[in-house]
Amino acid sequence: MMMFLFMLYCVSAMGLFIYGVNCYVLVHRFRRHRQKGMERLENIRRTFREKLDQEIPTVTIQLPVYNEPWVVGRLIQAVSRIQWPREKLDIQILDDSTDEATAIIKEHLVHFQAEGITISHLHRTNREGFKAGALKAGLMVAKGEFIAIFDADFVPNPDFLHQTVPFFTDEKVGMVQTRWSHLNEDYSLLTRTQAVGIDRHFAVEQSARCWAGFFLNFNGTGGVWRRKAIEQAGGWEADTLTEDLDLSYRAQLRGWKMEYLPDVDVPSEIPADVSAFKSQQRRWAKGSIQTARKLIPRVLSADLPVFTKVQAVIHLTHYLIHPLMMLIALTSVPLLSFQNSLWSALSFAPAIMLLCLATAGPSMLYMTAQRVLHKNWVRRIVRIPALMILGTGLAVSNTLAIVEACIGTANDFVRTPKHNIVGTIRQAQPRSRAVSLDSVLMLEVSMAIYCVSGLAYALQAEQYMISPFLFLYALGFLLMVGSSTSAVLSSWWDRPSSVRIEKAPNRIDDSECAYRQAIRNFDSPPFKQIL
C-alpha cells in the first residue's frame, strides 16, 4: 500500500513538473519573439489602416447580459462612444435577465436610439444554451461582417475597433483578442492578487502562443470575430461551459488564424469576493476539461506539428494541476512515515526536486508579466506568494469541477457577479441571498485539518522534505475556509458594505457618471518591450 502511495505521489509530482516546465517554455518563446512580434503589430496597423479606410466594414457589437443591473448601463455608455461610422455599426444587447437590468436596458435603448445609434434589444425568456445560446441567437440577426463581444463589466475604449479591425485585412485571420486590464485592482488584497494571475495570462501566455504559432483562445470578451470563421467552425455550441475556448479551437482546426494584441487593453472588473472568484474558476475548470475531452482527439489527428499538438493538450488540460495538487496533499501525510530509512529519503529527493521546479515555473511567468506591464514591478512581485496560496486553496473546488466534467454532470452556468467597482469604490447594492454551508466548504475544512495535522507531525518528527508543501497547502485551504466562512456569516446579516459612486437624477445620468468615473480613475499600464 505504501509503495502504491509513493508511486501515486511521484506520478503527481511528474504531472505538476510538466505543467511547471511549460511555463519556462512560454517565457522563453515570449522573450524570443516579443521584439519582432511587437514590430509586426505596428507594421500591420501602419500598412493596413489605409486599406481599411477605403472600405469600412459593418461591425456588430454583441453585449451578452444576465442580471447585471449595476454595470449594464456603464457598458452601453462605453459602447455608444466607440468611434465607427454609425451606418456601419450594429449594437446588440443580448439580454437573458430576469431582474431590473431589463428595465435599465430599455431606458438606455430609447435614449441612444434617439441619438441615431443603431442598437437593438434581444430579450430571451429562457437561458437555453446560456451565453453561447445568446450569442448564437444574436448572430442569426446580426448585420456585421465582424462581431465584437463585450461582457457586462467591460469598458472598451472609443478607439477599440480602429485598433483591432485592421488585422482582418489578412483574410486568414478569424479572431482578434485584446488584453484585459483592471478597473478595481486596488479594491482589496484579493483583487490585487488576482490581477497578477490575470496579467500572467494576458501579458505573457497569450503573446507567446500567438507569436510562436501555437493555438490560443478567445477569452469570451474583449475580442472581435470574423463572422465567416464562426460559421465555418460550426457556430457557438453550449455543450461546454467555456464556449469561447471551444469555438477558438474548432476555428483553428479549420485553418483560421488567431491574432493577439497585447498592446490593446480593455478595462474590466475583477471578482471582488472569494465566492465569486471560486465560482468563476470552477466554471473555467469544468469547461476547459469538457473542451479537452471534446477536442483533444481532433487536435491529435490534425495535420499539425507535434510540438503544437503538445502545447494544445497542455493548454486544454491546464486545470488538471488542481487534482494533481490534491493527490500530492493526500499522499504526503501517510508517506511521512516512509521517510525514516535512508533509501526512502533518497527516493523522495527526485520527486521533491520536480515539485520545486514546478512551483518556480509559474512564478517566473508572474514576474515576467509584471516586469513587462509595470514600472514598479519589483514591489508588485511580493504578491506572488499570496497568489500561490490562493491558487492552492482552489484545489478542492476545481477538482470537484473537473470530476463533474469527466463524469458528464449537467452544466449550470453560474455567472460571476459584478458590482460596478472602480478603484476602491463600488456601487451600493441590496442584500444578497444567504450563502450556504455547502459540501465544498466542508471538504475544504477537512483538507485544512488534514494538512495542518500532517504538517505538525512532520515538524515533530523532523521530516522536512515534504513540510514546505504541506505548509503551502495548509495555508491555501485555511484561506478558503476563512474566506468562505466569512462570506456565509456576512450574508446572514444585512449590513451596508459599499458606497454610492455618484448620485444622479436618473438611470441615464447615473450610468454616464459611472462611465466617467471609470475612465477618470483608470490608468492602463502600457505594454513595454523589455529587451
pLDDT of 342 over the 50 cut: no
Each residue's pLDDT tens digit, 253-294: 999 999 999 999 999 999 988 888 999 999 999 999 999 999
b/e sequence 407-440, b meaning 16+ C-beta within 10 Å: eeeebebebbbbbbbbbebbbeeeeeeebeeeeb
Please check whether residue 201 lies inside any domain of the structure.
yes
pLDDT at 525: 65
pLDDT at 438: 72
CA distances from 185 to 190, 225, 361 (A): 9, 28, 24
Please check whether residue 180 lies inside any domain of the structure.
yes
Q: Contact 218/225 with Cβ under 8 angstroms?
A: yes
**Annotated catalytic residue, options 95, 96, 199, 265:** 96
CATH number of the structural domain spanning residue 134:
3.90.550.10
| Mean pLDDT rounded to a whole number for the chain | 88
CA distances from 133 to 153, 176, 381, 386 (A): 20, 21, 40, 37
pLDDT at 341: 52
Each residue's pLDDT tens digit, 167-185: 998 999 999 999 999 999 9
Please check whether residue 519 lies inside any domain of the structure.
no
Looking at 290-294, 316-320, 349-353, which range is the least confident one?
349-353
Each residue's pLDDT tens digit, 69-97: 999 999 999 999 999 999 999 999 999 99
Q: How big is the CA angle at 240 (ends 141 and 97), to the nearest 5 degrees? A: 50
Please check whether residue 297 lies inside any domain of the structure.
yes
pLDDT at 530: 41
**Annotated catalytic residue, options 90, 151, 199, 244:** 244
Helix 72-80 to helix 101-114 angle, to the nearest 10 degrees?
20
Please check whether residue 66 lies inside any domain of the structure.
yes
pLDDT at 385: 94
- Tell me the sheet residues that pair with 93: 63, 121
Among residues 103, 119, 71, 252, the alpha carbon closest in space to that of 175 is found at 252
Please check whether residue 465 lies inside any domain of the structure.
no
Please check whether residue 363 lies inside any domain of the structure.
no
The DSSP result for 402-462, as a single string, is HHHHHHTPPP---PPP---EETTEE---PPPPPPP--HHHHHHHHHHHHHHHHHHHHHHTT
**CB-CB neighbours of 13 under 10 Å:** 25
- Tell me the sheet residues that pair with 426: 421
**Given the C-alpha cell 446580426, which residue does it identify?**
142
> Helix (H, G, I), strand (E, B), or coil: what is residue 90?
strand
pLDDT at 2: 76
pLDDT at 351: 72
pLDDT at 423: 63
b/e sequence 478-503, b meaning 16+ C-beta within 10 Å: bbbbebbeebbeeeeeeeeeeeebee
- Give the span between the Cα atoms of 334 and 451, in whole angstroms: 11
Each residue's pLDDT tens digit, 191-243: 999 999 999 999 999 999 999 999 999 999 999 999 999 999 999 999 999 99
Based on the residue annotation, tell me whether 244 is a catalytic residue of this protein. Answer: yes
CA distances from 288 to 89, 130, 144, 200, 280 (A): 33, 16, 29, 18, 12
- Give the span between the Cα atoms of 384 and 363, in whole angstroms: 7
- Tell me the sheet residues that pair with 123: 95
pLDDT of 343 over the 60 cut: no
Give residue 457's pLDDT band: very low, low, confident or very high (50, 70, 90): confident
Please check whether residue 100 lies inside any domain of the structure.
yes
Domain extent, residue 283, equals 57-318
- From the number of C-beta atoms within 10 Å of its C-beta (0-12, 13-18, 19+), residue 174 rates as buried
pLDDT at 210: 96
Give residue 50's pLDDT band: very low, low, confident or very high (50, 70, 90): low
Looking at 32-36, 113-117, 421-425, which range is the least confident one?
421-425
pLDDT at 499: 43
- What is the DSSP secondary structure assignment for residue 238, as one 8-state letter? -
pLDDT at 411: 73
Mean pLDDT, rounded, for 330-348: 67
In sequence order, which ranges of 181-273 are alpha helices (DSSP H)? 189-199, 206-212, 227-232, 243-253
Label each residue of 321-387 as H, E or C.
HHHHHHHHHHHHHHHHHHHCCHHHHHHHHHHHHHHHHHHHHHHHHHHHHHHHHCCCHHHHHHHHHHH
Based on the residue annotation, tell me whether 96 is a catalytic residue of this protein. Answer: yes
Query: In total, how many domains does the chain have?
Result: 1
